[in-house]
Structure 1
């Protein structure tokens, strides 16, 4: 036990060390753009053309020669001849060229007719007949005009290799004409649960048994990251059986997660098995929850041993494993939980030198959320069900006082 506690690494240093050992996958595939949500780009995206590709109006009003409006004011308006209306979706080449003294009615997004160089907004005009309009302001060239390359310029880099596709990115890609894109294949992650006390979730537990839920939580977390989870079932506390299952997972997947058996008890076999199959770089994090976490490379593939407690497993995945998964998948950056500020409803203590992630619930009163620690033992499954956020306590802090305004992460 002494060696385990002495070898524990600071959370951030351990994360940097683990990331340095990760080699991203390189295999790629071409996928329809409408199906690439959450996938990681395997090549950069460059705009093949100017977008929108034609000059258009940014406001409702009248397209004009800006010089025709010089000197116009509310006291001394000028009159222009109206040459029709530029409709949304109309080919600019089909519109008549505006000559001096002419204007054309136009809506937001409408194509700018040839000869026009500015837009007078509707509020600065008065239509006095079907063919005449008064202009009450003097404008300069380019006012309220969206130029052909204002959105995207031809040759402009839009996304770098390693960018993870968001919903809005799908729209941008389609707008640029990308109906298919090159992405890294999905990362395959093997998930193994260990423990004599575990039974499948659909089984009625006998006294002394518990339903195995960690693999299903981990699968859901992996799915959110765009990875493909492969469950290898429950392995009893037997070295030979665990060794065989881990080897199979290494043969069939890119990354392996073991739930349970990562501490130093008599039945905690993860360290022993991983030591036989590869090299252990980390055993123990100065982190709560999640101290007995293991990181190793086996067959040059990352393997993480997670605590068996569901709360610890879920938190360690979110804060330690997720960045490793994203790097393995070829992503430039890891996903971060959304951060918000709130006021502590109670004092929450920590230990200097340890990074804490405290499950909290939120109460919305006044201008900022009130934050309160989830009641009950931190290892209870109910903690997962009730937690709405994680309060982050840095290792150089001994906690927070009641009334402190702090950052927390939406869980």
Structure 2
């Protein structure tokens, strides 16, 4: 029985970078279908937004020089030339000193105007005369041409996830088709004689399939397309055929279970039987998740995940998502929550530990408390808000120590 040849998390990621060319492929989708997708290339504006000078208030468009020094005691007397209608070009311009034109919020400024006086600072005396009792600066209450978006400006950088805000920006440019990164396809295979479908009633010694559903849900959350191959019994040929099919159909293959050193844990033999170099890693210095496998078949990456759900979840978040983000062309900005730890906690040196925690609010501070559970307990990660990363060189965390909590 071979034991693990354990390597660090960083070393495992280096091996992935060396052995795999993980980069995004692109496709075009309709604007509304681009929500939550990743931009493939920088988006450069071909137009100015707005493409005309626009008022930000209801008021009178003027030349600011004509109302310099205006006050309530000595208002500027202006000649009223008409009104700009919303969505229309002005039918009149300011051609002579002392003229003004009424403009609604969002309306286009007439030629000759450089600012807009809010209607609150004016008084219309009759159909031809307006009094203005406040001076304006040049450009006041006006959005200039290209002030929002200028022609040639990079408005959305590649690798950005499209939110409603980015979608709105693209709609302002008239972009109805968007080039985005393709969704990676993630094959999910659950193995083990003891695993049964959740629809079945498990017999003594059997458990319902958990990992397939957790991994599929993670893949969907991360913008991927999961492909579920069901539960595969501990049969070498059956698992080999399933993995071989998954290699052809998916970008990443996840095999849940069979990564330990038991007699029936066949994942390593299957990976090695399907081509060189086969297994690259068996054992990562991570807790939980030590018996993780990383293999290479036909230039595709294959992960052998631990059978325990919490271990599999941690390995997915730390290792699998690292690869998915590369396939998506996405680098996520993560801002952890700063908390105080609730107790003294011992951690064995030598392994990078990911400790599930709950959060509570105590007066003016957030308290992080560990979710303590035995290996194989499935409810731990459903109770947790997130996790704390404990460096492999640390022996634990002291009560009251500041920690960073990352969301599950």
User: 2:95 & 2:314 partners in 1: Cα distance?
Assistant: 65
Query: Is residue 2:369 matched to residue 1:372?
Result: yes
Distance 1:117 1:397 in 2: 64
1:248 and 2:245 aligned: yes
Specify which of 200, 204, 229 is matched with residue 203 of structure 1. Answer: 200
Contact kept, 8 Å, 1:63 with 1:120, in 2: the verdict is yes
Contact 1:19 1:327 in 2 (8 A): no
**Which residue among 268, 273, 277 is the counterpart of 1:271?**
268
CA contact (8 A) 1:36 1:165 kept: yes
CA contact (8 A) 1:22 1:328 kept: no
CA distance in 1, matches of 2:282, 2:75: 79
Instruction: Please state whether the residue corresponding to 2:379 is helix, strand or coil.
Output: helix
The equivalent position to 2:110 in structure 1, one of 108, 113, 130, is 113
Comparing 320-329 and 54-63, the one that deviates more = 54-63
1:237 and 2:234 are equivalent in the alignment: yes
Q: Does 1:316 align with 2:312?
A: no
Shift of 1:361: 1.1
Question: Does the CA contact (< 8 Å) of 2:387 and 2:406 recur in 1?
Answer: yes
User: Which sections of structure 2, spanning at least 5 residues, go unmatched?
Assistant: none
The 3-state SS of whatever aligns with 2:285 is: strand
Change in 2 beyond 3 A, CA 1:93/1:59: closer
Residue in 2 aligned with 1:143? 140
Tell me, yes or no, if the aligned pair for 2:189 and 2:254 is still in contact at 8 Å: yes
Verify the 8 A CA contact 2:156 2:166 in the aligned structure 1.
no
CA distance in 2 between partners of 1:183 and 1:248 (Å):
27
1:350 equivalent in structure 2? 347
Hey, what does 1:12 align to over in structure 2? 10
1:56-110 CA-partner distances (Å, limit 9, x unpaired): 12344432211123233566543434444445x4223445336321333444433
Cα deviation, 1:178-211, whole Å, max 9, x if unaligned, reads: 1112334332221111111100011110110000
Residue 260 of structure 1 corresponds to which residue in structure 2? 257
Q: What count of residue pairs does the alignment treat as equivalent? A: 405
Shift of 1:133: 4.6
* Cross-structure match for 2:31: 33
What TM-score results when the alignment is normalised by the length of structure 2? 0.90
Note closer, same or farther for the CA distance 1:78–1:2 as it changes in structure 2 (3 Å cut). farther
Unaligned 5+ residue runs, structure 1? none
Greater alpha carbon shift after TM alignment, 183-192 vs 67-76: 67-76
> Match of 1:168?
165
Q: Any idea what the Cα deviations from partners look like across 1:234-255, whole Å, max 9, x if unmatched?
A: 1122222222211111122222
Q: Name the SS for the 2:394 alignment partner.
A: coil
What's the offset of the Cα at 1:111? Answer: 2.0
Give distance in 2, aligned partners of 1:403 and 1:76: 66
Contact 1:285/1:292 (<8 A) preserved: yes
- Matched residues in 2 for 1:100 and 1:286: separation? 78
Q: Is the 8 A contact 1:22 1:324 kept in 2?
A: no
| Structure 2 equivalent of residue 327 of structure 1 | 326
Q: Matched residues in 1 for 2:385 and 2:323: separation?
A: 24
Instruction: Quote the offset at 1:336 in angstroms.
Output: 5.3
CA contact (8 A) 1:38 1:225 kept: no
Question: Aligned partners of 1:85 and 1:138: how far apart in 2?
Answer: 21
2:336 matched to which residue of 1? Answer: 339
Distance 1:54 1:395, change over 3 A: farther
Conservation of the 8 A alpha-carbon contact between 1:39 and 1:184? yes
- Is the 1:64–1:98 Cα contact (8 Å) retained in structure 2? no
CA contact (8 A) 2:336 2:407 kept: yes
Larger deviation, residues 188-197 vs 284-293? 284-293
Taking a change above 3 Å as real, the CA distance of residues 22 and 151 of structure 1, as seen in their structure-2 partners, is: farther
Return structure 1 stretches of 4+ with deviation > 6 angstroms.
none
Residue 55 (structure 1) shift: 1.2
Say which of 174, 177, 192 aligns to 1:177.
174
Change in Cα spacing, 1:146 to 1:240, as seen in structure 2 (3 Å) is: same
Question: Equivalents in 2 of 1:119, 1:395: separation in Å?
Answer: 63
Cα displacement (A) at 1:25: 5.8
Secondary structure of 1:91's partner? coil
Q: Secondary structure at 2:258's aligned position in 1?
A: coil
CA distance in 2, matches of 1:137, 1:13: 68
Q: What is the alpha-carbon distance in structure 2 between the residues aligned to residue 90 and residue 97 of structure 1?
A: 19
The answer for the alignment partner of 1:129 in structure 2 is 125
CA distance in 1, matches of 2:380, 2:107: 55
User: Quick one: distance in 2 between partners of 1:396 and 1:79?
Assistant: 78
